Structure 1
């Protein structure tokens, strides 16, 4: 089927009366499904209220593999069958001689002791990092008595990732069950995507990464970046080819950079000061370099660039969300972190405002204001871990170098330095976020609890979370150092009671 150019339909109140079709590329991800669900809801409300012409349907486009994953049944654990012939022999008891210092499972507390709210970790406490290739080990190689390791095993090597078994119904749209949505399988990084975009009046391209496990689990960083850049090129050219009137791209406010001297809030047209490294932020910088040519290459295609704050929502998995799966909140000494989020439903509301108000250019999207460290601690119930800035970044860099961390150390800045945005242009156009930062954080924590409790949960603890986020990795190492200190103190107490 060869797509044909059609007259451009306008959704605004002053535009031409007629139906409109919205196409969403990358719709099989968590943010894409939530976006499609929210667009369907707004389409229904607009049609019911009679507030001008409403889009007739939504075209959801993604690869056949990702769409097929959404319709696969979620496996359940079978009930264990009782053993018809139980073993009458009792279980062997562990020999205490094999582990003379087993240590407690949690931090020891003496009667009358109170746990401090802030724990300070020094460089000596984090000296148990794995050794990079070519480096000399910090300790001698002579044989030592067997003892329990305090370094999580997940930080010494990459572990095989479990099979993806997402729980689709509670994450939004399910292909084949929703009216008003037409699912089309296509490789969005290929020029063939033009066929899937046929009849689209508005094209929404989700370039932001909303599934960290999928983005970093397969392929090299260079292959991942090449796919992201090619997808931006192919989708934008296809949108112009089919006669779409507007192209909306969603990246991230991370491209503005997280720095100690950032103004709060950052304006919509702030310069991109992020580091162009091998991480996902570097990918988005390359994508935006491609997108900024659209007004010159396709003058008849209106273009809007949305940069949301830290995206949250059902199933959204990013380096920022994984920071809250660590055992403690990482705080760098001498820094003042400001937290801001953007719910996927508010992102959909921002896109709807762009379509109805015909807003062009770069826009920032986020909840109003921000939260400081004390507010985050109160809502999350997590205790903070205070680490010197130089030590935290050097630890994250070494973890990345030895392969224990699949994101660069530079992304640690986004959980310790401010990158708060103002959303001024959208607010002036009438957009209002439905979720504040407190409710976004609470929803993020609730989603993580449900994911850990579900049989299909992808991660079961802080160790797995640390494999994908620099802040979580440093916090996990610091927590291990605290446990090591506590066990050492308890061991000294036991020896002192045995002395004559």
Structure 2
């Protein structure tokens, strides 16, 4: 495991920063003086503000003395009382009018749900991003912050450990949602050429954890056994949702330029993950594991395509050097985030990416993953016979 150390910045020094940590004086201003002082920071709009990362970021920005005003955009109203809510679909052309007077847009209205229809998911993600990147410059917005994933670098056996932000994006569209994220990256590169003066920053988190995040990679830890593909070289790096929001705030306040990768310092080897989690491994040959995953997905028994397995086989750890050079540091370690993930998924049972009900989980038992994978051929045969009878 490799760790990076350095000075701690005010935004990430502790989970509960000391009073006055964000000000220029050790003595807090009286509330009346603070309220009367004009705020010179940016007006920020957040799409997807009602849930997940969007909700947490909206709360964070609304509480910041460095942000003048927060416009929260979603199809329903969220819980943040300190934001001005605009209720609309992010694909609505009326978005441009809602962005009048906004300085920075953080676009977080993405559908990465494993259970979503892939075509509908892509239509929402791509069209929504296109609308934001068109509406923002039309409204006079000078900066757009997008959030994809470090998965766009691809999980490959020859990846550097860690990858720099400028590493080539070598992912393919074979994993859940990665095709959408690659298209968003392409739109981000093209937008400044189409709209001169528009600054677009892309933030790429490692395995995201916290706030109920549900992905193929978090479901990996819901299995009774951790599937390990023989001769693979996994390296696990996590990103807590709080650290992602801190990184997004750095981008909003223009404390750092360029595309950003964000995650905990260093990484965990597979053996460390198994020791910390207490979950034993199940090792299978590559052909068996990939073939089983492909067949299960093809007949609709699991939401995860075989491409998701690559991210549990090969490293895609990022350095986060740009954020580190700007003074940002993660508050969470990989060990701490893994602990939180295990607490979040406790009581859930997943086999080959598919959530099991309580009855199914009991029947599957501790050997459920083995039975599911090694019995794939029988499942496929039964499904084919059923189709022929129809």
Question: TM-score scaled to structure 2, two decimals?
Answer: 0.78
Structure 1 residue 372 corresponds to structure 2 residue 269: yes
Asked if structure 2 preserves the Cα contact closer than 8 Å seen for 1:326 and 1:466, the reply is: no
Cross-structure match for 1:222:
119
Q: Distance in 2 between matches of 1:476 and 1:288?
A: 40
Asked if structure 2 preserves the Cα contact closer than 8 Å seen for 1:189 and 1:228, the reply is: no
Structure 1 residue 63 corresponds to structure 2 residue 85: no
Which ranges in structure 1 are unaligned for 5 or more consecutive residues?
Answer: 1-12, 48-53, 68-173, 453-459, 485-500
- Deviation of residue 27 (structure 1)? 1.8
Structure 1 residue 256 corresponds to structure 2 residue 153: yes
Asked if structure 1 preserves the Cα contact closer than 8 Å seen for 2:49 and 2:74, the reply is: yes
1:185 is matched with which residue: 71, 84, 87?
87
Asked if structure 2 preserves the Cα contact closer than 8 Å seen for 1:23 and 1:58, the reply is: yes
Structure 1 residue 384 corresponds to structure 2 residue 285: no
Cross-structure match for 1:106:
none
Cross-structure match for 2:246:
349
Structure 1 residue 279 corresponds to structure 2 residue 176: yes
Q: Distance in 1 between matches of 2:352 and 2:282?
A: 19
Question: TM-score scaled to structure 1, two decimals?
Answer: 0.62
- Report the CA distance shift for 1:229/1:481 in structure 2 as closer, same or farther (over 3 A): closer
Partner secondary structure for residue 386 of structure 1: strand
Cross-structure match for 1:244:
141
1:28 is matched with which residue: 32, 50, 54?
50
The within-5 A match list for 1:260-409 is 260-277=157-174, 279-409=176-306
Partner secondary structure for residue 444 of structure 1: helix
Q: Distance in 2 between matches of 1:464 and 1:269?
A: 33
Q: How large is the RMSD of aligned CA atoms in angstroms? A: 2.6
- Report the CA distance shift for 1:359/1:294 in structure 2 as closer, same or farther (over 3 A): farther
Asked if structure 2 preserves the Cα contact closer than 8 Å seen for 1:377 and 1:383, the reply is: yes
Q: Distance in 2 between matches of 1:183 and 1:395?
A: 46
Aligned length: 331
Partner secondary structure for residue 291 of structure 2: helix
- Deviation of residue 207 (structure 1)? 5.8
- Report the CA distance shift for 1:299/1:34 in structure 2 as closer, same or farther (over 3 A): same
Partner secondary structure for residue 128 of structure 2: helix
1:445 is matched with which residue: 342, 357, 362?
342
Cross-structure match for 2:371:
480
Which ranges in structure 2 are unaligned for 5 or more consecutive residues?
Answer: 1-23, 25-37, 357-363, 376-390
Partner secondary structure for residue 235 of structure 2: coil
Q: Distance in 1 between matches of 2:169 and 2:337?
A: 25
Q: Distance in 2 between matches of 1:422 and 1:196?
A: 36
- Deviation of residue 334 (structure 1)? 1.1
- Deviation of residue 277 (structure 1)? 3.5
